[in-house]
């Protein structure tokens, strides 16, 4: 279990999505892979959770379309606070189109919903630079 960023401790992800069903589903999926998960219903909620300007996560999973604060807006906000956190954006639209808006930001991957577990895990691994342990084997 090698890791650059996490230093061997549990990988923590933060999920920001306005849809409660999506939040619960993604949380459960991440928990199966022994990831530490925190969920937020909006960008504002996530920003409010920052501990002295530091997020409680190694990786951010955000929905591109949210009513009060879109994914891009949240990232700009974080950037303005000097916070750089590897981010995975997911969207129902064409991910190519979305990624254009995120160029230059700390976006690691743009995923199309619904998200396959292996694709998600691969993206998270890329984001944190560590291998995610699969308790159920290869």
Partner 1 sequence: MQFLGARHPPETVQGSRHLAASLLLFVPLVFAGNEIGSILRYPDVGSAVLFVPYAVLTAALVVSRPRDWVWYILIDSIAHFVAHWPQWPMSWVLLATVANVARALAAAVVVARLCDGIPRFVGIRTFGCFVVGAVIVAPSIGASIGAANVVLHGASDGYWRPWLAWFTSNALTAFTMLPACIAMFSYTAGPSRARVARRRLVEGVLMMAALGATAFILLGGFERLNPAVTLFAALPILFWSALRFGAAGASGALTVITFAAIWSVDRGETSAAGPSDDQILALQFFVFFTAAPVLCLAAIAAAREAVVQLHRALLASLHDHVALLDARGVMFEANASWRRFADSSAAPLHRARTGDDYLAACRSSAERGDVMGTALFDGVTKVLRGAQPHVEIEYDDPEPGRHETYAIRIESLERPDGGAVVTRANVTARRQAQLEVERHRRELSHLARVNVLGQLSGALAHDLNQPLTAILSNAQAAHKWLLRDPPNTEYAAEILQDIIDDDRRAAAMIHRLRSLLKRGDLRVERIDVADLMSEVLDLSRSELQARNIEPTTSINPAAPALLGDKVQLQQVLLNLILNACDAMNDMEEPRRRLELSVASDDLRTVRLSVRDWGVGLPTDLIARLFEPFVTTKTDGLGLGLSISRTIIAAHGGRLWAENNLGGGATIHCVLPVAEQPEVAAAEPTSSLPDAVRH
Residues at the contact surface with partner 1, assessed by CB under 8 A: 19, 21-22, 24-26, 28-29, 31-32, 65-67, 90-93, 113-117, 135-136
Closest distance to partner 1 from the beta carbon of 103 (Å): 20
Q: Which is nearer to partner 1, 69 or 108 (CB)?
A: 69
Closest distance to partner 1 from the beta carbon of 96 (Å): 14
Closest distance to partner 1 from the beta carbon of 92 (Å): 4
Q: Which is nearer to partner 1, 26 or 107 (CB)?
A: 26
d(CA 28, CA 59): 16
Q: Which is nearer to partner 1, 21 or 104 (CB)?
A: 21
Q: Which is nearer to partner 1, 6 or 70 (CB)?
A: 70
């Amino acid at each position: 279990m090698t890791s650059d960023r996490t230093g061997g401790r549990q990988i923590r992800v933060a999920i920001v999505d306005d849809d409660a069903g999506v939040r619960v589903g993604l949380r459960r999926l991440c928990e199966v892979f022994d990831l530490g998960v925190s969920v937020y219903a909006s960008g504002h909620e996530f920003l409010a959770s920052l501990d002295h300007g530091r997020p409680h996560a190694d990786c951010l999973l955000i929905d591109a379309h949210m009513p009060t604060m879109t994914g891009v807006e949240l990232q700009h906000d974080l950037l303005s606070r000097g916070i750089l956190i590897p981010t995975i954006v997911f969207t129902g639209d064409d991910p190519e189109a979305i990624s254009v808006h995120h160029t230059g930001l700390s976006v690691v991957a743009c995923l199309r919903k619904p998200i396959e577990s292996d694709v998600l895990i691969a993206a998270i691994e890329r984001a944190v630079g560590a291998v995610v342990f699969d308790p159920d084997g290869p």
